[in-house]
Amino acid sequence: MQQQRSATGNSNFILFFLIGVGLVLLIFLFTCNTQKKSVAGTTTTTTVSPPLSIPSNIGLPQLMPSGNTIQHSGYTLSYNKQHKQPSWVAYLQTAQHTQTATEVRLNGFDPDPLASFATATDADYEGTGFDRGHMAPAEDMAWSKATMQESFYFTNICPQQPAFNRGVWRRLENLLRYWSEAYDSVYIVTGPVLSNDLPTIGPHKVSVPSLFYKVVLHYNQKGTKAIGFVLSNVASAATLQTFAVSVDSVERITGINFFDGLPDDVEERLESRINANEWLWKKISK
């Protein structure tokens, strides 16, 4: 009888032991599964920081305290009241902007409703033979009705020779749209090279620039580089690489400090040199 009780006791002990081990194992497995779910949930909501710290004003030149800066939804500009045209127009062109550019081009040009000063008008261009040349191109701004309308404000317009505007200048605009897709986005600043000895047109004496420029900054997770272009306001069949220069050289002829939001050491490195081989070039057929 004592041996039977001993055997029964041993059996109960083993049974309780196995049950205890099973409970511990179940608790362990449940805890691990919960932790995995928690980690998975965190992964889907965590924003991965880019390798670069990108200031919000990175695409803008140094702002001057003149009160002539206007910010639209598609671009920012600094207007030169003496020459009746923008000193610069700056905007971020993204791949999405380029790929969703479906708005129909407008025909008429309008005064800028945000301008508190006199600007050029249609009367300045009529009968002169000059095109009303966009700085922020209508095709770049075709991603919304508002930005398309903004591109036709006279604060975004300069006098350009038709063969220049519709030729090499358009080829360059096409190239930069290609870059916006190839690099996900590019910062663009563009405008005329202004000086006091320029001829004028129209009743408001709108200066006719002999040179135009574009500076381009690629600054995102895909890389960093910068390049400038300076073109004469005349027809040209030359390759676009012919007009490529450093950003520093554009600063010297315009007096504008581009991409002022960059850290000083990065700005110096990117703007002081040019390497055309860093950029993707393709033949522009349009």
Per-residue pLDDT of 181-215, as tens digits, reads 999 999 999 999 999 999 999 999 999 999 999 99
Does some domain include residue 268?
yes
On whether both 195 and 84 belong to a single domain, the answer is yes
Q: Name the active-site residue from 72, 134, 204, 218.
A: 134
- The domain that holds 150 is classified in CATH as 3.40.570.10
On whether both 162 and 73 belong to a single domain, the answer is yes
Query: Active-site residue 134, yes or no?
Result: yes
On whether both 38 and 98 belong to a single domain, the answer is no
On whether both 102 and 238 belong to a single domain, the answer is yes
pLDDT of 258 = 97
pLDDT of 107 = 87
H runs (alpha helix) in the chain: 2-45, 95-99, 122-125, 145-150, 162-165, 168-182, 247-254, 264-271
On whether both 14 and 82 belong to a single domain, the answer is no
pLDDT of 29 = 47
Does some domain include residue 240?
yes
On whether both 201 and 247 belong to a single domain, the answer is yes
On whether both 5 and 142 belong to a single domain, the answer is no
Name 271's Cβ contacts closer than 8 Å, sequence gap at least 6.
226, 246, 247, 248, 251, 258, 259
Distance CA 30, CA 93 (A): 50
What confidence tens digit (pLDDT) does each residue in 243-269 have?
999 999 999 999 999 999 999 999 999
Per the structure, how many domains does the chain have? 2
Does some domain include residue 59?
no
On whether both 19 and 83 belong to a single domain, the answer is no
pLDDT of 11 = 53
pLDDT of 7 = 46
Q: What is the mean pLDDT of each run of 10 residues along the chain (286 residues)?
A: 46 52 48 39 31 72 84 96 97 96 94 96 98 98 97 98 98 97 97 97 98 97 94 98 98 96 93 94 62
Percentage of the chain beyond pLDDT 70 is 78
- The boundaries of the domain holding residue 85 are 69-278
